[in-house]
């Protein structure tokens, strides 16, 4: 880990200087400190107690014309939190991308339970190329990932090719495959400049690499970090790009 930090010291310095507020800078420094020392004494200072994950209202504005793309929709938990926070009439369309069939069944049940309209389920994986990959099991889980071999075949798509309308908000939480998914929607980012909320805790490079990719595609984005995890090991820190 220390080697990775040394090798990418300039990248982390770049990110620090690009972060849009003091809170984001503090989160970055505390996460890096934990990586270097395993001292968890500052972790409890990071957690957001005010807003729902992916919906920091100091940073983002939500309205009835949102076209929200939920990459890694799990059982529809982000969809339900969105509806509880903003209402069932405060979006134009809501796309749920999910690869696990049992998770998809629960998304459908949640749509029915809350009587939601204009929710589109895509039983596809989001990546940097169109094709097919596999998952190893069909259990209700948030940590199942795509692989080159497995029991169940899953179609993979680029968001650039799979959605033909203006996207306003993209959320990604797909267990470390965010970089590939991001590469598959760069045309969308360049053209429509959607709000982005990306998980950057599944591997250590995503924290600097994903904002680098976004900045190279469209250098008008501003970056923020927010932390929604627990008090021990830092997880659930989110990059907002706006």
**CATH assignment of the domain containing 138:** 3.40.50.150
Mean predicted confidence (pLDDT) in 101-121: 97
Residue 14 lies in a domain: no
Looking at residue 146, what is its pLDDT? 80
Rounded to the nearest integer, the mean pLDDT of the chain is 93
Residue 3 lies in a domain: no
The alpha carbons of the chain give a radius of gyration, in whole angstroms, of: 18
Residue 159 lies in a domain: yes
Rounded CA separation 166/66 (Å)? 9
Residue 12 lies in a domain: no
Mean predicted confidence (pLDDT) in 102-127: 97
Looking at residue 55, what is its pLDDT? 97
Residue 15 lies in a domain: no
φ/ψ (deg, to 5) at 129: -155, 155
**Helical (H) or strand (E) element with 97:** strand 93-97
Report H helices in the chain: 2-7, 9-18, 22-37, 77-86, 101-113, 159-162, 178-183, 186-192, 206-217
Strands 93-97 and 119-122: parallel
Looking at residue 88, what is its pLDDT? 95
Residue 136 lies in a domain: yes
- Output the pTM of the full model: 0.95
Mean predicted confidence (pLDDT) in 92-120: 97
Looking at residue 231, what is its pLDDT? 75
**HSE-up (13 A, CA, CB side) for residue 141:** 11
Confidence tier at 230 by pLDDT (50, 70, 90)? confident
Closest to 79 in 3D by CA, of 98, 63, 92, 96: 96
Looking at residue 2, what is its pLDDT? 63
Q: Angle at the Cα of 175 (from 98 to 74), degrees rounded to 5?
A: 30
How many domains are contained in the chain? 1
pLDDT in tens, 64-82: 999 999 999 999 999 999 9
Confidence tier at 187 by pLDDT (50, 70, 90)? very high
Looking at residue 1, what is its pLDDT? 54
Rounded CA separation 208/8 (Å)? 9
Residues 6+ apart with CB under 8 A from 164: none
Residue 7 lies in a domain: no
Question: What token pair was written down for 239?
Answer: 């990059």
Residue 196 lies in a domain: yes
pLDDT > 90: percent of the chain:
76
Give me the DSSP letters along 13-42.
HHHHHHBSSHHHHHHHHHHHHHHHH---TT
Q: Is the confidence at residue 123, as pLDDT, over 90?
A: yes
Of 16 and 3, more confident? 16
Rounded CA separation 152/79 (Å)? 25
Domain residues for 56? Answer: 22-241
């Amino acid at each position: 880990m220390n080697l990775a930090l040394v090798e990418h010291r300039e990248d982390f310095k770049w990110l620090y200087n690009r972060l849009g507020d003091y809170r984001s800078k503090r989160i970055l420094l505390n996460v890096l400190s934990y990586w270097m020392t395993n001292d968890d004494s500052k972790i409890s200072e990071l957690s957001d107690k005010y807003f729902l994950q992916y919906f920091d209202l100091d940073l983002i504005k939500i309205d009835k014309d949102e076209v929200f793309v939920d990459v890694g929709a799990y059982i529809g938990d982000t969809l339900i939190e969105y509806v509880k926070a903003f209402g069932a009439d405060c979006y134009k369309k809501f796309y749920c991308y999910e690869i696990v069939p049992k998770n998809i069944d629960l998304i459908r049940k949640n749509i029915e339970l809350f009587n939601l309209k204009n929710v589109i389920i895509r039983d596809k994986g989001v990546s940097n190329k169109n094709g097919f990959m596999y998952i190893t099991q069909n259990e209700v889980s948030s940590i199942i990932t795509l692989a080159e071999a497995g029991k169940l075949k899953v179609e993979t798509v680029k968001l650039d090719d799979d959605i033909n309308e203006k996207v306003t908000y993209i959320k990604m939480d797909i267990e470390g495959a965010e970089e590939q998914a991001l590469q598959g929607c760069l045309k969308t980012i360049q053209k429509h400049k959607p709000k982005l909320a990306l998980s950057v805790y599944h591997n250590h490079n995503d924290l600097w690499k994903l904002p680098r990719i976004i900045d190279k595609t469209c250098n008008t984005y501003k970056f923020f970090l927010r932390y929604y995890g627990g008090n021990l090991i830092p997880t659930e820190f989110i990059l907002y790009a706006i």
